[in-house]
Chain A
């Protein structure tokens, strides 16, 4: 059974038929995705699944990863933080290096990118490529995966000129959109229920993972899965855990993260987290390789509640993943988390470690409530946040760009 057939079973035949119909006007067009890392992080994860799915619709799609060195990723990590609002000045020499790395990558990719019908550039890392492809013939789309609603102005001022010539941009929420002279589409990300991170697991697999990390299945467990990044507030999670243990002394906390090639700051944050944990045996800080998908899946399934206490969040794929496993999510009241965590229904939105502790203290003694919220959470993801919905919107966007900025596009019948 191919991916589309499997999706038809999960999301409905009509969902797949829609994709096939929308893909018809795009047959023969060359589509290229470009980002800065092949593994680790939400963007790589989405592309790993989206690209094969597009190929099954007979679309001519490829995915290229730009190459960078430590200096480049140091710059783009600062840029990432600055776009999310941190006051992170970046030196002129680093910014120059950022442009040079893009120019060098453009040398490698130019003929392909200039010839493509659609080029999707993901996040700020490869954004200047467009400047180095003056003979481009297709439509270029900048896909911003982060919350850039209140960026540190000097960094945005530097980046904006690279973005203005794009034909369109995509943001996860309307509130994230910046003022740019082209249509700014709103497309929330999604998860792939068929990936190792989301497929159903046998109880024995979950047991094995819990045994491996010395987790007691008889005791309550909360889990946060995310990069070790200050915006994910891992120290705040530890604080919330400590406040909750006064009421639920048997509580266990797992903080799961990994490292990505474009995230040099992670190591510093991990040290901060270890210091905050103070060798508490019930706090597990797990650094997993980028391909530990089944392990993460098992940990999310073993959890009673999923946490995502971010203070800034573009979308929060781990929120969707947790909900897909039928777990309530206690999430930071920020960004795309608000779109997924419907307060009092699929989980709770909180603003402080105290808020997270309050909700854990409320939920943990009520397994029925946890189950009820978890069921709602899973149904909400099925209806709104599966990969098929995101792909449908990407296809719609490409069809729309072929027809100009008109509000209604009636495709001619291919009968």
Chain B
């Protein structure tokens, strides 16, 4: 028997899905100074893409760094210090993408101040700035109880997981994911589930692994889930 939430006050959860498509901006950088200069003016969609959109691109097993900027610092510039610093930038800590851009610039300028030769040193591969368009569509599925959501998650597409768990951080206040945002409406009934979901660090997992992590948390913390 499922616990009864105060459903009269909670709207059902609408399962959505999305498709992301990458677009070349035509802008590229072949050294750190050029990278800094381009980053200053690049469309914010591009910053979003390089932090998050790459989750939907071909990637292999565990990634060393969690965003494209850090990967390029390592692979293109061969600057491990900068790569490590860029990799520790967590977009969830910034109120918006503009604030994240400013922090990126801060890290890069700090590095340029430390080592003058980075200003002119050529990268072995250029950084291609990409942006993306996202198309969101409604699957028509509506869920009225968290346990039913928990049962559905293993069969959701990875893009749907991306939309509700990653993309939501750009749409919702306090960088929340859609699942948590909905669960809050149940007036503290799912506190442990909420805490566990918000404890997931989505940076290093593939979307398939992320779906698995969310499934396990629902099984553990949400009474009535029967997968």
Task: Give the contact-size bracket for chain B.
Answer: 20 to 34
Binds B, one of A181-189, A241-249, A264-272, A285-293: A181-189
A177 at the interface (CB under 8 A from B): yes
Number of contacting residues on A, CB 8 A? 47
Q: Which residue of B lies closest to A21 (CB)?
A: B137
B21 touches A393 (CB 8 A): yes
Cα separation A412 to B61 with both chains bound (whole Å): 35
Q: Mark A370-410, 1 if CB is under 8 A from B, else 0.
A: 00000010001001110000001101110110000011111
Cα separation A380 to B133 with both chains bound (whole Å): 24
Q: A184-B24, A408-B134 are in contact. Are A17 and B58 (CB under 8 A)?
A: no
A385 touches B58 (CB 8 A): yes
A393 touches B132 (CB 8 A): no
Cα separation A357 to B19 with both chains bound (whole Å): 41
Nearest-neighbour CB distance to chain B for A148, whole angstroms, equals 12
Q: Mark A331-361, 1 if CB is under 8 A from B, else 0.
A: 0000000011010011000000000000000
One of A12, A383, A409, A415 near B136 (C-beta < 8 A): A409
Cα separation A188 to B58 with both chains bound (whole Å): 10
Interface residues of A in 1-42 (CB under 8 A from B): 12-15, 17-18, 21-22, 24
A186 touches B22 (CB 8 A): yes
B157 touches A18 (CB 8 A): yes
A393 touches B19 (CB 8 A): yes
State the total of A-B contacts with C-beta under 8 angstroms.
Answer: 98
Max chain A C-beta neighbours (<10 A), residue from B20, B157, B208: B157
Nearest-neighbour CB distance to chain A for B135, whole angstroms, equals 5
Given contacts A185-B22, A409-B136, A414-B138, 5 further A-B contacts (CB under 8 A): A18-B159, A184-B23, A340-B58, A384-B58, A395-B19
Interface residues of A (CB under 8 A from B): 12-15, 17-18, 21-22, 24, 171, 174-175, 177, 179, 183-188, 339-340, 342, 345-346, 376, 380, 383-385, 392-393, 395-397, 399-400, 406-415
**A to B CB contacts below 8 Å, 27 in the list:** A12-B157, A13-B155, A14-B157, A14-B160, A21-B139, A175-B126, A177-B26, A184-B26, A185-B22, A186-B21, A187-B21, A188-B58, A342-B60, A384-B58, A385-B58, A392-B19, A396-B20, A396-B21, A400-B21, A400-B133, A407-B131, A407-B134, A411-B135, A411-B136, A412-B138, A413-B138, A414-B138
Interface residues of B (CB under 8 A from A): 17, 19-24, 26, 45, 58, 60-61, 126, 128, 130-140, 155-157, 159-160, 208
